[in-house]
Amino acid sequence: MPGADRPAPPSSGSPALGRRRFLGYVLAAPTLVTAAELAPAEPARAESAAADIPSADVTELVDLNDVMSAAALPTSGLITVQVHTDETVSFALPRAEVGQGITTSTAMLIAEEMDVPLANVRVTLADARPELVFNQLTGGSNTTIATYTPVRVAAAVARGRLLEAAAVALDSAVTELTIRAGVITGRAGRSTTVGALAEKAAALRTQRVSTALKQSDRFTVIGTPQGRIDALDAVTGRKKFTMDLDVPGAAPTMVCRPPTINGRVGSVANADEVRAMPGVTDVVAITTGVAVRARTFGQCIDAVRALRVSWKPGSAEGKSDETVRRELAAAELPLGLPPLTPSVEGRFTFHFRSNSALETNCAIADVRSDRAEVWSSLKAPIVAKEAIAARLGLPLGAVTVHVTEGGGSFGRKLFFDAALEAVEVSRKTGKPVKLMWHRADDSRQGRTHPMATSRVRIAHVGDTVLSYKQRHTSVATDLGHGFGEILTAMAARLPVADLGFSETFFQLSQSMPYDFGVSSRLLNETDKGFNTGSMRNVYSPDVTCARELMIDKLASKTGKDPYRFRRDSLKDERSRAVLEKVAEVGRWGRVMPDGTAQGIAFHSEYHSASAVLVEIDCRPGTVGRPVRDGVTGPRVTKVVLAVDAGLTVNPRGLEAQMMGCAMDGIALALTSSLHLRDGYFLEASWDNYFYTRQWNTPPELDIVIMPDTTGKPGGAGELGVAASMAAVACAYGRATGTMPTTFPVNHGTLSFEPKPTTPPVPQSPTDGLDHAY
């Protein structure tokens, strides 16, 4: 705690009857600053969940969010709410905003608790704060779960201090005051404002105080649909991403990269010649390639293309989809002896996919002899800061890491590949750099969701399921961004202590929502030669897709309706409710033309539940509809998605997240994958890697947010991907009459002409004027 005196004992006022008290702080500062510890103020849910559910399924005892929350308990880092004389309230959120809307939902929590206008709350992103230990990681859809109470506690302490100051200013008792929209009114209608009291309510010395939180039946902001607080900046071009920042002297920098994955620089034949090109200031070899720094990125591209570099082999030399398929087959864990009862069995292949955001990997770095300053969108900034300090041989305190607004993440920004390169280039050139990956680099050398297979066996008698086995085999997922540290640190306390690291993550993130008797899921990993990482919803889309397809297969075999079979098998009420909702809203079972069909699927995670019903059109006229340089294929014509994320802070934001999840699910099922050949990925463009485009977008989308039955926020940023992918796959199977087993379904057809690997980036076209419209 900066500048803190010894904490005073909790204030002695008698707590309101029946209302739980929370401890917060008032910090010594010129204007009112209040704080709370960023640790869950409630007992870990594992205890209550364990008491409720006598099952041995590990995810019902504890899921990943509980592990993350529990891991944060010993931390002492504070988060602070600051009140300013201009009527605004500010808060530096120790998380990364990458589009998921957490700056808005956090501002809503503060506006709610303080009764100030939402527009007066400014939420920025905190620099890397190592004192927060594990508590500055954005992942696992954990942000709202972890920050919901602490943010409100800090805001409630501020409200209490403002009321105390207002009582003096207005010569009223605190109980006579009302606070509305930042205006505090006392006896005889006299009033003052939050801004007018910002200095009067400030503390001379830091004190610990206790506070109550507003009760949910009095919420006027939480649970109401709100637009994003940065919407105006986003639509006017004023929103600043890393590459938009004006850091003095930081010149555009790009890296000439190897033709194969993780190839290494051998020698550079023409560095001097390239250094003399227009605009170019520096050419230096670094760990990952040859960096060029120039006046503009256009001149960087020219220089990268002009470099003549001999390369050493990479980490996936000669590998292809087919060789990896064989590696996976060799690594697959056995399903065991065939059961004595009837069973259904399936094997599914999921190809490499890119978690590339629209903003490519990028970072600004200014490295001096005794210090370094870095700007980048980072979901694990503490780990990044530690890694940067280690790389530069600087003390941790000499490195400042600013977390900037991110242009999408989807898991990509858990890592800090560009930041590490930027500090290396800055040190070697002695100059500040603005380093950005070319799109081709981001696709070919950037991190991927690893290729995997999933095998499922369901043993049954009639329509009663006796056992469910799933064996997921995957190219190794790199979890080395610090997420894993939490798991490692906590693993001894979990019932999965004897499991390996990825397997622990797998077990904690997967669950069996159906009453399928004896259930087991195992993960085995192979081949660490690829640049991988978590991609939105991590293992769940593939695992759930395989499971839901097999449920359809079993339902078909036993003559049951896929929806009814699921509904009758789901274990709990919240799960059944979302499934019933999509069946009702989506008119499950309605008569549809041949070649079109509905599909339905379910997924639960992050203390939340989701169900998706889709309709797909696989008729030749639709599949063959022409689009230049794109993939059309089957069209999802309708998506109905029901979500129960517990207490929803911002329904409009949740709807946005679910819409994105649906688009991801469509892409994963139908169109988006990387093709591995000769040790490199062929995709180098958005017209190679077929993420959902407007021509694939469902004309009808209906998102239903279920009423809260828990009183607590669940996670949601990734939740809808798995059920969306699975529902599309199920619908595709029902429309075509053939269950798909390879994803995306179009992977076998290469729908583009691969770009060369040398030079590694394509030149920008010059015919832009010809395409004006």
Partner 1 sequence: MPEQTFRLNGEQVTVDIGDDVRLLWVLRDVLGVTGPKYGCGINVCKACTSHLNGRAVNPCAIPVGELTPTDEVTTIEGLADTVSADLHPMQQAWIDQDVAQCGYCQPGQIMAAVAVVRRAAEEGREVTDADLDGIRNICRCGTYVRIREAIRAGAENM
Residues 259-288 contacting partner 1, CB under 8 A:
278-279
Q: Which stretch binds partner 1 (CB under 8 A): 72-80, 230-238, 421-429, 547-555?
A: 230-238
Q: Which stretch binds partner 1 (CB under 8 A): 127-135, 163-171, 265-273, 693-701?
A: 693-701
Nearest residue (CB) to partner 1, 265 versus 662? 662
As measured in angstroms, the least distance from the Cβ of 461 to partner 1 is: 42
As measured in angstroms, the least distance from the Cβ of 358 to partner 1 is: 4
Residue 122 binds partner 1 (CB under 8 A) = no
Q: Are 211 and 155 within 8 A, CB to CB?
A: no
List all residues 6 or more positions away from 760 whose beta carbon is below 8 Å from its beta carbon. Answer: 256, 257, 258, 259, 304, 438, 440, 441, 444
Nearest residue (CB) to partner 1, 67 versus 663? 663
According to CB under 8 A, which one of 468, 602, 606, 691 is a site residue for partner 1?
691
Say how many C-beta atoms besides its own lie within 10 A of residue 236's C-beta.
8
As measured in angstroms, the least distance from the Cβ of 629 to partner 1 is: 8
Nearest residue (CB) to partner 1, 44 versus 623? 623
Q: Are 286 and 426 within 8 A, CB to CB?
A: no
Sequence-ordered alpha helix ranges (H) in 562-687: 562-569, 573-585, 620-623, 651-670
Nearest residue (CB) to partner 1, 24 versus 101? 101
As measured in angstroms, the least distance from the Cβ of 381 to partner 1 is: 17
Considering only residues 563-622, where is the footprint of partner 1 by CB under 8 A? none
Q: Are 692 and 664 within 8 A, CB to CB?
A: yes
| CA neighbor of 511 nearest in space, from 487, 536, 484, 544 | 544
Strands 680-681 and 742-743: unpaired
- Hey, which residues does 285 pair with through a beta bridge? 290
As measured in angstroms, the least distance from the Cβ of 462 to partner 1 is: 41
Return d(Cα 289, Cα 292) in angstroms, integer.
Answer: 10
Nearest residue (CB) to partner 1, 77 versus 533? 533
As measured in angstroms, the least distance from the Cβ of 281 to partner 1 is: 13
Return d(Cα 420, Cα 374) in angstroms, integer.
Answer: 10
According to CB under 8 A, which one of 8, 53, 232, 497 is a site residue for partner 1?
232
- Read off the tokens for 602: 């379910």
Considering only residues 384-443, where is the footprint of partner 1 by CB under 8 A? 405-410, 436, 438-439
Considering only residues 88-117, where is the footprint of partner 1 by CB under 8 A? 98-101
Residue 656 binds partner 1 (CB under 8 A) = yes
As measured in angstroms, the least distance from the Cβ of 773 to partner 1 is: 5
- Read off the tokens for 212: 């109550």
DSSP 8-state code for residue 135: T
Return d(Cα 34, Cα 203) in angstroms, integer.
Answer: 9
Residue 218 binds partner 1 (CB under 8 A) = no
Q: Are 456 and 469 within 8 A, CB to CB?
A: yes
Q: Is 353 left (phi over 0), alpha (psi -120 to 50) or beta?
A: beta
Residue 236 binds partner 1 (CB under 8 A) = yes
As measured in angstroms, the least distance from the Cβ of 254 to partner 1 is: 10
DSSP 8-state code for residue 754: P
Nearest residue (CB) to partner 1, 239 versus 391? 239
According to CB under 8 A, which one of 698, 733, 759, 760 is a site residue for partner 1?
698
According to CB under 8 A, which one of 10, 117, 298, 339 is a site residue for partner 1?
298
- Radius of gyration from C-alpha coordinates of the chain: 27
Residue 249 binds partner 1 (CB under 8 A) = no
Tell me, what amino acid is at 163? L
Considering only residues 4-43, where is the footprint of partner 1 by CB under 8 A? none
Return d(Cα 23, Cα 157) in angstroms, integer.
Answer: 9
3-state percent helix, strand, coil for the chain, nearest multiple of 5: 35, 25, 45
Nearest residue (CB) to partner 1, 283 versus 663? 663
As measured in angstroms, the least distance from the Cβ of 690 to partner 1 is: 10
Task: Provide the total of helices (H) and of strands (E) in the chain, helices listed first.
Answer: 20, 31
Q: Which stretch binds partner 1 (CB under 8 A): 22-30, 163-171, 557-565, 696-704?
A: 696-704
Annotate each residue in 325-364 with x if it binds partner 1 (CB under 8 A) or - if it does not, as one string. -------------------------------xxxxx----
Nearest residue (CB) to partner 1, 119 versus 390? 119
Return d(Cα 657, Cα 649) in angstroms, integer.
Answer: 13
Q: Are 483 and 140 within 8 A, CB to CB?
A: yes
As measured in angstroms, the least distance from the Cβ of 305 to partner 1 is: 12
Nearest residue (CB) to partner 1, 594 versus 767? 767
| CA neighbor of 139 nearest in space, from 92, 78, 72 | 72
Nearest residue (CB) to partner 1, 391 versus 693? 693
According to CB under 8 A, which one of 127, 264, 686, 754 is a site residue for partner 1?
686
Q: Is 465 left (phi over 0), alpha (psi -120 to 50) or beta?
A: beta
According to CB under 8 A, which one of 622, 685, 741, 742 is a site residue for partner 1?
685
Considering only residues 628-647, where is the footprint of partner 1 by CB under 8 A? 629-630
Considering only residues 456-515, where is the footprint of partner 1 by CB under 8 A? none
Instruction: Count the residues of the shown chain that bind partner 1, applying the rule CB under 8 A.
Output: 78
Q: Are 489 and 71 within 8 A, CB to CB?
A: yes
According to CB under 8 A, which one of 621, 626, 699, 707 is a site residue for partner 1?
699
Residue 296 binds partner 1 (CB under 8 A) = yes
Could you tell me where the beta strands, DSSP code E, fall in 404-504? 433-436, 448-449, 452-461, 464-475
Say how many C-beta atoms besides its own lie within 10 A of residue 743's C-beta.
26
According to CB under 8 A, which one of 189, 621, 711, 765 is a site residue for partner 1?
765
Considering only residues 198-217, where is the footprint of partner 1 by CB under 8 A? none
- Distance separating the N- and C-terminal Cα atoms of the chain: 57
Residue 758 binds partner 1 (CB under 8 A) = no
Q: Are 684 and 443 within 8 A, CB to CB?
A: yes
Residue matched to tokens 């991190």: 447
